[in-house]
Amino acid sequence: MKRLCLLLTLPLFPLLATGAHAASADAQPALRASTCSVRGLMDDLRRGLGSGSPSYQRYLRTLLREAAVTLPDAELRDAFARETDPVMAEHLAAALVARAEREADPQAMDVVAQRALQDVDPAVRAATLRAMRRTGALERTGDLYERMVRDESPQVRQEAATNLIEDNAHVYAGQYGPAADTAVTAAVASSDPEVTARILDNLSTEKISAESAERITSLLRSDDASVRKAAVNALGGVPAEQMQGARESLLAMYREEPDEGVRKALLQSVAQLGFDGAIADLQRLRDMDPRLAREADAWIQVLGMGLQEWSLLLREKQRLQQAP
Amino acid sequence: MTPESLHRSAAPAPGRRVPKALAWLAGAALLVGGVALLSSRGDAGASSDAEAGGAAASRKGAAGGRGHGGRAGAGGTQEEAPPPPRFDEAVCWRELERFDAAVTLENFRAWAAPLLASGDSLVADYLTERLTELIGQDPDRASEVLSWARTAGPDEFNVLLTALRGSEAVHHAQVATQLLAQGMDATLDGGRRAGILAALDTQKRFEPAALDTLTSFAKDPVSGEAGWAATRTIARVMKRDFEAKGNAAPYMDALLAIGTESPDEQIRYLALSTPMHATPVLDEHTRAQYAKVLTQEGSPDGREAAAHNLSISGDPQEVLELFAQAFAREQETCVRWALFRFAARASGREALPVMANMAMADPRFQPLYQIFEQLYASGLHDFVRLWNSLPDQDPFGCLVGHD
């Protein structure tokens, strides 16, 4: 289109600009393109992370990942193995993960996973896990996450939870059952209620297996209210085949549940499982607990709008309750 | 490239892995029927690159820039084993550290020029972000950068406007006013005006006067590429304002005016299709407007967009009746498919009798009706999940190259 005119002006531009700003060019850096090396990148990164602008730091991190595919494999692995600074270890691990992701070195992921499991420094284990975030690492690392959520360090356990949540949401868009099943398995395997609850509170269970649904259902009997609440939330989104069973479990639980927050979550999941077909159930539950009458009424009102997407129902309920 | 062709080819490129995820993402794009908020007509300036964020796949390939994982061997015979992956080497810049430490707004253009001329997209991204930092919250600095944009070459122009768009200062009234004024400056070429108007799309809201200016401009028969960018900017700001404050009505009126009055079919389609990204629940007045579009718009894409918007309404029954009537007189298969599936989005399983009638009138919809019936019988309610469960989301080839 008309941008063609702009394109025609391009070759002239650098010359013109350099001339126009000659006065300020005295101290101009002698910028020169060169081949990247592991050592050079590491040196730049180490210095840049200490004193560079935020944009320069982002650039260096990205550059290392982008350059990783053409860097000498042995040198990169060696640098990673020797690095003890968690920050630098994270970036080197990210470079190895990038190599694995691009099929330049399929075994590189194992190297990173082993470090996450075995390094003596919990900060390095946590950093190495972060390097695998929002990649396909979850599919290539076997039972890594099941083990990492049992790490002795709470920070490492939380990093593992974050990977499971973000990978499922951003790499698989909540639509890949095996990835969601891995997250459920890890959530159930963890003895840290904060980790279990956080994973299940933030996971799409739309494609989970029947076995995973059963595992989540078993957590409805947890002693920890945050775990029960997260299990309730997770059951609201199960596959069609599990919906009837989930609905029955949740309705049965409501009567005995002592915690108000868990009951609130139960109302929401019953709504999610039934849409406007849940209105009769919600009216019954409303009468059981006067503390939650307003909450039940809000759901009944929103479900009555007839909207056919869960995200819109959630949005409209939030608007309803925020309205003056 | 038109918005239509973009939306039809919007499925992410086949990935090296996680096919399920990519398949779903493609489905999401198809569900909304367009990616106008994410794409651009004629690469209208700053916004598309910035919007892409870290998505390497959407960046321009750089000669000597990042290794974007291009595989060689497209021309090999079937008998040959695929060659090993081959990657472009990334570029490391000597003295970039000193550049970073000493660059100022005053020397930025001169110092950045050789980096920009290299075509290294990674370093171009850095320059953009560094310039955003240099502008900071200062409206005078933003104004100065905007003044450079009037004469900058295309690569520098993109850096300048993307940096401006992402800065804190762009939210200062003085800067927004200048951007709008320059976007309206008829002495500038269309591509440049488009880029400037696109840089307004990070605004939190538009006051009525600015919205009127953009709307009148977008409807103008000669607005062209810049009118398209103005329309997209209105839609993007609407989405932000609606999500933050629930405010959609003035923008919806603006987009409907453009969508019904612009003589440019691409601009009309953009205006009609973009509200689906914010998904407001339509009130009676807006429903009536889109109902008119459904019967009067000459472009099938525009009628599809109207059906999409109408499917989220405060009166599902009215919409179902409207869709039933529209289906009967509609000749275009793709619009019929839109009316069919959006009937389900409007009313859920209550739409099944209407969908059954549609399938009676047009037997090509019989197998589709059976699928919807089975999915509802399985217990699904959420239209998004139902859509994700369809064995084929594009049974009539409407979403990729049906022209």
Mark yes or no for CB contact B17/A32 under 8 Å.
no
Task: Note the pLDDT tens digit of each residue in B67-80.
Answer: 333 333 333 344 56
**A212 confidence band (pLDDT: 50, 70, 90):** very high
Mark yes or no for CB contact B348/A308 under 8 Å.
yes
Mark yes or no for CB contact A308/B382 under 8 Å.
yes
pLDDT value of position B400: 65
**A181 confidence band (pLDDT: 50, 70, 90):** very high
Write the CB contacts of B352 (distance below 8 Å, at least 6 apart in sequence): B369, B372, B373, B376
Residue A67's closest chain B neighbor by CA? B90
Distance, CA of B374 to CA of B389 (rounded, Å): 11
Return the SS3 of B91. strand
Stretch B177-204: mean pLDDT: 98
Distance, CA of A300 to CA of A298 (rounded, Å): 5
Candidates A6, A21, A176; nearest CB to B191: A6
| CA-CA-CA-CA dihedral for B315, B317, B319, B320, to nearest 10 | 160
| Mean pLDDT, rounded, of chain A | 92
DSSP string, B178-214: HHHHHHT-TTS-HHHHHHHHHGGGG-S---HHHHHHH
Task: Note the pLDDT tens digit of each residue in B39-56.
Answer: 445 444 443 333 322 222
- Give yes or no for residue B64 having a pLDDT over 70: no
- Give yes or no for residue B401 having a pLDDT over 80: no
DSSP A171: I
Mark yes or no for CB contact B107/A312 under 8 Å.
no
**ipTM score:** 0.87
Work out the minimum CA distance from A120 to partner chain B, whole angstroms.
32
The answer to whether B237 and B274 have CB atoms below 8 angstroms apart is no
Of B4 and A129, more confident: A129
Distance, CA of A250 to CA of A235 (rounded, Å): 8
- Cα dist. A138→A39, A127, A193, B13, B338 in Å? 29, 16, 22, 22, 37
Mark yes or no for CB contact B378/A241 under 8 Å.
yes
Return the SS3 of B82. coil
Distance, CA of B348 to CA of A275 (rounded, Å): 10
Residue A104's closest chain B neighbor by CA? B85
pLDDT value of position A106: 87
Return the SS3 of A33. strand
Stretch B118-147: mean pLDDT: 98
Q: Which residues of B touch A17 (CB under 8 A)?
A: 109-110, 113, 156
The answer to whether B348 and B376 have CB atoms below 8 angstroms apart is yes
Task: Note the pLDDT tens digit of each residue in A32-53.
Answer: 999 999 999 999 999 999 999 9
Give the pair of three-digit tokens for residue A233. 């939330």
pLDDT value of position B8: 27
Of B15 and A300, more confident: A300
Phi, psi of B91 (to 5 degrees): -105, 130
pLDDT value of position B399: 83
Of B30 and B9, more confident: B30
Phi, psi of B394 (to 5 degrees): -135, 65
Q: Which residues of A touch B244 (CB under 8 A)?
A: none
pLDDT value of position B81: 66
Q: Which residues of B touch A48 (CB under 8 A)?
A: 97, 100
Most A CBs within 10 Å, among B66, B68, B96, to test the A interface: B96
Q: Which residues of A touch B93 (CB under 8 A)?
A: 31-34
Distance, CA of A35 to CA of B75 (rounded, Å): 29
The answer to whether A206 and B55 have CB atoms below 8 angstroms apart is no
Task: Note the pLDDT tens digit of each residue in B313-330.
Answer: 989 999 999 999 999 999
Task: Say how many Å lie between the first and final Cα of chain A, rounded.
Answer: 50
Mark yes or no for CB contact B85/A175 under 8 Å.
no
Stretch A263-281: mean pLDDT: 97
Candidates A22, A35, A241; nearest CB to B89: A35
Distance, CA of A90 to CA of A74 (rounded, Å): 17
Q: Which residues of A touch B117 (CB under 8 A)?
A: 13-14
Mark yes or no for CB contact A102/B385 under 8 Å.
no
Candidates A33, A53, A308; nearest CB to B381: A308
Task: Note the pLDDT tens digit of each residue in A62-120.
Answer: 999 999 999 999 999 999 999 999 999 999 999 999 999 999 998 999 999 999 999 99
Q: Determine the number of helices (DSSP H) and then strands (DSSP E) in chain B.
A: 22, 1
Q: Which residues of B touch A101 (CB under 8 A)?
A: 16-17
Residue B313's beta-bridge partner residues? Answer: B282
Q: Which residues of A touch B280 (CB under 8 A)?
A: none
Mark yes or no for CB contact B21/A104 under 8 Å.
no
pLDDT value of position A187: 98
pLDDT value of position B80: 62
pLDDT value of position A27: 79
Distance, CA of A254 to CA of A263 (rounded, Å): 6
Distance, CA of A55 to CA of A57 (rounded, Å): 5
- Give yes or no for residue B62 having a pLDDT over 60: no
pLDDT value of position B84: 67
Q: Which residues of A touch B381 (CB under 8 A)?
A: 274-275, 277, 308, 310
pLDDT value of position A26: 56
Candidates B98, B312, B379; nearest CB to A29: B98
CB count within 10 Å of CB B74 equals 7
- Cα dist. A91→A79, A82, A96, A170 in Å? 11, 13, 9, 20
Mark yes or no for CB contact B16/A102 under 8 Å.
yes
Mark yes or no for CB contact A6/B114 under 8 Å.
no
Task: Note the pLDDT tens digit of each residue in B263-274.
Answer: 999 999 999 999
pLDDT value of position A25: 45
Q: What is the CA radius of gyration of chain B?
A: 23
Mark yes or no for CB contact B348/A44 under 8 Å.
no
Task: Note the pLDDT tens digit of each residue in B137-188.
Answer: 999 999 999 999 999 999 999 999 999 999 999 999 999 999 999 999 999 9
Work out the minimum CA distance from B211 to partner chain A, whole angstroms.
25
Give the pair of three-digit tokens for residue B106. 């005053």
Mark yes or no for CB contact A29/B344 under 8 Å.
no
Mark yes or no for CB contact A59/B126 under 8 Å.
yes
Mark yes or no for CB contact B113/A102 under 8 Å.
no
The answer to whether B43 and B6 have CB atoms below 8 angstroms apart is no
pLDDT value of position B74: 34
Distance, CA of A242 to CA of B385 (rounded, Å): 14
pLDDT value of position B87: 83
Mark yes or no for CB contact A33/B64 under 8 Å.
yes
Mark yes or no for CB contact B385/A27 under 8 Å.
no
**Candidate from A14-23, A101-110, A229-238, B258-267 with smallest mean pLDDT:** A14-23
Candidates B110, B133, B154; nearest CB to A6: B154
pLDDT value of position B109: 97
Going by their DSSP bridges, the two strands B91-94 and A32-35 should be labelled as antiparallel
Give the pair of three-digit tokens for residue B135. 């502008």
Candidates B95, B129, B279; nearest CB to A312: B279
Query: Based on the number of CB atoms within 10 Å of its own CB, is A102 exposed (0-12), middle (13-18) or buried (19 or more)?
Result: buried
Most A CBs within 10 Å, among B31, B41, B93, B389, to test the A interface: B93
Task: Say how many Å lie between the first and final Cα of chain B, rounded.
Answer: 14
- Give yes or no for residue A213 having a pLDDT over 70: yes
Distance, CA of B41 to CA of A98 (rounded, Å): 32
**B86 confidence band (pLDDT: 50, 70, 90):** confident
- Give yes or no for residue B233 having a pLDDT over 50: yes
A:B CB pairs within 8 Å: 240
Return the SS3 of B92. strand
DSSP B68: -
| Mean pLDDT, rounded, of chain B | 83
- Give yes or no for residue B2 having a pLDDT over 60: no
> Mapped to the 3 state alphabet, what secondary structure does A138-169 carry?
HHCCCCHHHHHCCCCCHHHHHHHHHHHHHHHH
- Give yes or no for residue B58 having a pLDDT over 70: no
Task: Note the pLDDT tens digit of each residue in A113-170.
Answer: 999 999 999 999 999 999 999 999 999 999 999 999 999 999 999 999 999 999 999 9
